[in-house]
Amino acid sequence: MAVARSKKSRKYHKTKGTRRPDRRRATLVLTQGDVAALLDLDACIAAVEEAFRLHALGKSLKPGVLSVHVPGGAFHIKAAGLKLTRPYFAAKTNANFPDNPATRRLPTIQGTLVLCAGDDGRPLAVMDSMALTALRTAAATAVAAKHLARADAKVATVVGCGIQGAAQARALLRVRPIERLYVVDVDGARARAFAAAMTAELGIIVEPAPEGLRQAARGSQVVITCTTAKKAFLGPKDVTDGAFVAAVGADNPEKQEISPQLLAESVLITDSTEQCAAIGDLHHAIAAGVLRPLHVRAELGEVIAGLKPGRTAPEDTVVFDSTGIAVQDVAAAVVVYERALAEGMGLAIDFAG
C-alpha cells in the first residue's frame, strides 16, 4: 500500500457548457491513491477512537451489516452515521475473495464507500475502500491496544503477512513500545519477505517465528491475528497471562481464529457485541456453548468512554474481537473527504447535472 503523499489532483467533470461544479455541492470521486495520500495512520487512529467513544455514548446511527456469500467469496455492506463537524452517513460495499492474490493477481478485498450528508442526504464522495479499510481496521487494533494492552508490552506476534498484517504492525507501534515483532504465515517465503521489509521500515527486530506460532505467541505481550482462517488456531495454551490478543480476521460466520476456550478464559472486549455474536469469533464460542453475549465485559467504545472497565489487572488475558463496525468507516471517510475539499483533490461530479 502506497504511503507517500501524491501530487494534488485538481480534477473536474464538466457537465453542461464549461462551468465547473461547486466542489462543496458536487460529489468527489477519490481513487485509492487519493485515499492513501489523504488518510495518514495517526489521523485515522484518532478518528476511529473518537468514533468508538461517540458510538458508546449513543451519538451514532446504529451500524448495520449485510453479508452476501457467493462461490469463492462474499460481499459485505456496512453502514452507519456519526455527527462530527456535521452529520455524516456512510455505506461501504466490500468484496472479499481470499483466493484472488494467488489465482487472479487481484487484491483479496476490493470495494467502494459512499459518504453522504447526514442532514440532507447529498452524496458527498465516492471513494475506493481498500486503503481506508486497511487503515481503519489497524487503527481499531491500535486503539484497543492503547486501552487494553499492558503499557510495558515490548514483544508482539502478528499472524498473517499480508497488507493488513503490515498495517497492524505500523499501527501497534504508534501506541506501544514494541522492540521485537514475530511474524507467522502459512507461506514461509512470504513471512521472510515480510520480516525483511518491515525491519527496514519500522527500525525494530522483525523476524519469522523461529519455533512456530505457539512459542512466539507465548513470548509476546501482544498477539494480532489477521488471517482468512476458517478454523481456530490460537488457544489458551498459546498465550501467556497478561497478554492482549486482537482477533481481526473473523468477519463472517465461516471465519474463525480464536478457540472458544481461549475466549471463555479471557476478558472479552468486542467492537460490537451484537455483530461479534453474529459474525466474529464470539459467534463460534456461542455455538460451542461456552459463552453468551452477557459474558462480554464491554465494548471497546464503553471502555474508551469510561462506562465499563477493560483490563483491571496486569495478569488479565484480554481478547479484542474485532469484526469492523461501520462507525470506523464513517470516521475515516470523513477525514479523507474534508482533507480532499481543503486540498482540492479528487474528481468533482454533479450527478444532478
The topology under which CATH files domain 138-324 is: Rossmann fold (3.40.50)
Instruction: Report yes or no: 244 and 223 within 8 Å, Cβ to Cβ.
Output: yes
Give me the tens of pLDDT residue by residue for the chain, a chain 353 residues long.
333 334 444 444 444 434 567 887 899 999 999 999 999 999 999 999 999 999 999 999 999 989 898 999 989 999 999 999 999 999 999 998 989 988 999 988 899 999 999 999 999 999 999 999 999 999 999 999 999 999 999 999 999 999 999 999 999 999 999 999 999 999 999 999 999 999 999 999 999 999 999 999 999 999 999 999 999 999 999 999 999 999 999 988 999 999 999 999 999 999 999 999 999 999 999 999 999 999 999 999 999 999 999 999 999 999 999 999 999 999 999 999 999 999 999 999 998 76
Question: What are the boundaries of each domain within the chain?
Answer: 13-133+327-349, 138-324
Q: Which of 28, 214, 31, 220 is nearest to 110 (CA)?
A: 31
Residues carrying an active site annotation = 92
Q: Which of 51, 32, 38, 170 is nearest to 113 (CA)?
A: 32
Instruction: Report yes or no: 168 and 183 within 8 Å, Cβ to Cβ.
Output: no
CATH 3.30.1780.10 is right for the domain spanning 13-133+327-349:
yes
- pLDDT for the residue numbered 20: 66
Instruction: Report yes or no: 36 and 1 within 8 Å, Cβ to Cβ.
Output: yes
Cell of 273: 457485541
Question: What is the rounded CA–CA span in Å between residue 133 and residue 248?
Answer: 12
Tell me: the pLDDT tens digits for 194-213? Answer: 999 999 999 999 999 999 99
Is the overall model pTM greater than 0.85, yes or no? Answer: yes
Instruction: Report yes or no: 140 and 349 within 8 Å, Cβ to Cβ.
Output: no
